[in-house]
Amino acid sequence: MKHFVLHDPLWLLALAALPFLIWLRSRRRVSVLVVPFAAAWHRPSLAAASRWPTGLAFTGLVLIIGALARPQRVEDKREVHSQGYDIVLSIDLSSSMLAEDYEKDGGRINRLQAIKPIIQAFIEQRPADRIGIVLFSGRAYTMAPLTMDHDWLAAQLERVKIGLIEDGTAIGDGLGVALTRLEQAKRQSGGKRQGAFIVLLTDGANNRGALSPTQAAELAKSRDIPIYAIGAGKDGIVPFPVFDEKGNKVGYRRMLSDLDEGALRELAESTNGKFFRASDTGAAEAAFKAIDRAQKIEFQAKSYLITTELFLWLAIPAGVLLLAGGLLGRTRASARVSAAPALASAT
């Protein structure tokens, strides 16, 4: 941010003295040579021209006073040394995420629809972090590698939908791919990041994959990477939509929610993370806010001012004007003196 200030503004009081000096000069008595027929050669143009030295000198004095007030351009610089986290969001896309046990604006929405905007808000609140997305169902793959381009990440998140991957719940594989991405990013950055953690979002129990959740948790613990697990959906019987051959929703059937809360809690706590139960949108938002508080770096910014003196921008034009006024006044005075004998002889 730039702004202009005067270091010595009291010098501006001297401007008030200039009209007084002009008045004194107009009161000065000078000897007058009476010349016959003076009115004939004393043309208005010559009288106006005689005021140029005074005008130039007056302007020069104004600029000199302004320069003495020391105008300065001050720029406020803020230097932030930021080191953010590397975060991978591991999101369950199994068919059970279609269960509509969340509500929005009085209507039912499925678990993924409820969680998406909350994930987006979480991403927006962490501008200094590199964030990636891993999707899993019957298998796991990387949807978005770790990036600081959060606008691009938001666009990728919008594309996420249930049915992209074969059905199943491979929680261990989802965590394994996330750990691999974090390890690769750590090597590429030379260990300059502050830390890393995983946010696991699932609504079921592990039933597929080559890596078990326990094995994934052991790997995360050995690498000092916390896992924050969020269990989506309500307990018990939940409404599950039924679709026709064209993909249109034609009704609901009742389904038992099979979240393995105990296993997820143990998984999270064994890595120094935490488990949250997101039975509604309010609980889901609270879970992400708690994670944000627990894994947040407070950056300290160093502020300093850059001051540029503008003295010369006024002093140089002032000197030029004063010199021009002095030379012009001296030239006209010499012309008047040389003209005086000739006028006297003419009388």
Looking up tokens 């393995």 gives: 260
Residues 267 and 162 in one domain: yes
Give 54-84 pLDDT, tens digit per residue.
777 778 788 888 778 888 888 776 665 567 8
Q: What length is written for the chain?
A: 347
CATH value at residue 240? 3.40.50.410
More confident residue, 61 or 141: 141
Residues 269 and 131 in one domain: yes
The answer to whether residue 343 scores a pLDDT higher than 60 is no
Cβ atoms < 10 Å from Cβ of 208: 18
pLDDT at 133: 96
pLDDT at 306: 76
pLDDT at 193: 55
Residues 165 and 28 in one domain: no
Residues 180 and 281 in one domain: yes
Residues 132 and 225 in one domain: yes
pLDDT at 41: 44
More confident residue, 79 or 238: 238
More confident residue, 171 or 53: 171
Residues 125 and 50 in one domain: no
> Among candidates 323, 317, 344, 333, which has minimal Cα distance to 65?
317
Residues 287 and 313 in one domain: no
More confident residue, 28 or 63: 63
Per the structure, the complete domain to which residue 179 belongs is given by 82-299
Give 119-135 pLDDT, tens digit per residue.
999 999 998 899 999 99
Domain count, the chain: 2
Residues 42 and 136 in one domain: no
Residues 164 and 289 in one domain: yes
End residue of a domain, out of 279, 299, 319: 299
Residue 260 contacts residue 205 (beta carbons within 8 Å): yes
CA-based torsion, 219, 221, 227, 229: positive or negative: positive
The answer to whether residue 321 scores a pLDDT higher than 60 is yes
Residues 49 and 184 in one domain: no
Residues 330 and 271 in one domain: no
More confident residue, 73 or 275: 275
Q: What is the mean pLDDT of residues 233-260?
A: 87
The one-letter code for the residue type at 284 is A
Residues 318 and 287 in one domain: no
